[in-house]
Chain A
């Protein structure tokens, strides 16, 4: 599927996907993140999207599955909270032994970022997409992407300083 067809066929169903996500996740912010994640996933698999007879049905299924996964993870980590989860990884001596070099430290830090932030930071910093391009793919305004990108970058910096000080 070409870039133009992706924009013409997938982006118009964004609202439908958002409603599907909100039904499962309830919170608007979570649903918005989920939809952006789904659209980025679909963007990366756009070459094989033509294989599906009904792309709307396929995109809805992807959204449902992703939201159910999120819900499961949320329930599992609800008691711990995001900060605690991060701390737990830092203090594990076995993990620390594994972190032999800078690259490994950064790889693990990025892996712990929320999935949407992970995708956005990789798209911007590794694949050299402009913020406006990511915004166009996800049907969001560039400020929302910029905010997530900024959060991701700051988290990477803080976590890296914290871990290399040990």
Chain B
């Protein structure tokens, strides 16, 4: 017993089918098989006419029947593409907006980034007060100098 997964038509079989084709005796199924045979690139010259005719008569996608598998395949591909684009967009934009380098280390966890940012911001006012304190000191020194000058000004 032999199992042919990919059936390859013999020349004798093809010749018989071609003869029947011209007599109008072949079924749609037989013509499909013949079409597959005639689409082969390694065929002898004698099949040239039938190759041209069968390639011209490529069946229309469907006649009056609704091809559900074709519909599913097409909508499936469209849906997969749409989902793909959506996720790509989601991940790319998200990744670009939610990572930070803290002490030379890349951090992608949004919560940790927020925490670190808050800590940095919390540090800022203390530095400002330091500057203010220094400024106050300078001002006070200046005031002392001014006072000294007033006192030492000769009457």
A127/B22 in contact, CB under 8 A: no
User: How many interface contacts (CB-CB < 8 Å) are there between A and B?
Assistant: 54
Total number of A residues with any Cβ neighbor in B under 8 Å = 26
How far, in angstroms, from A160 to B22 measured CA to CA in the complex? 14
Stretch at the interface among B53-61, B87-95, B99-107, B138-146: B53-61
User: Interface on A for B, CB 8 Å cutoff?
Assistant: 3, 102-103, 106-107, 124-131, 145-150, 153-154, 156-157, 160-161, 164
| Shortest beta-carbon distance from B19 to chain A in Å | 11
List A contacts of B56 (CB < 8 A).
Answer: 102-103, 106-107
List A contacts of B57 (CB < 8 A).
Answer: 125-126
B52/A131 in contact, CB under 8 A: no
B12: interface (CB < 8 Å):
no
List A contacts of B58 (CB < 8 A).
Answer: 126
Q: What mask results when residues 113 to 150 of chain B are scored 1 for a CB within 8 Å of chain A, else 0?
A: 00000000000000000000000000000000000000
How far, in angstroms, from A149 to B52 measured CA to CA in the complex? 18
| Shortest beta-carbon distance from A18 to chain B in Å | 23
Chain A residue nearest in CB terms to B31: A125
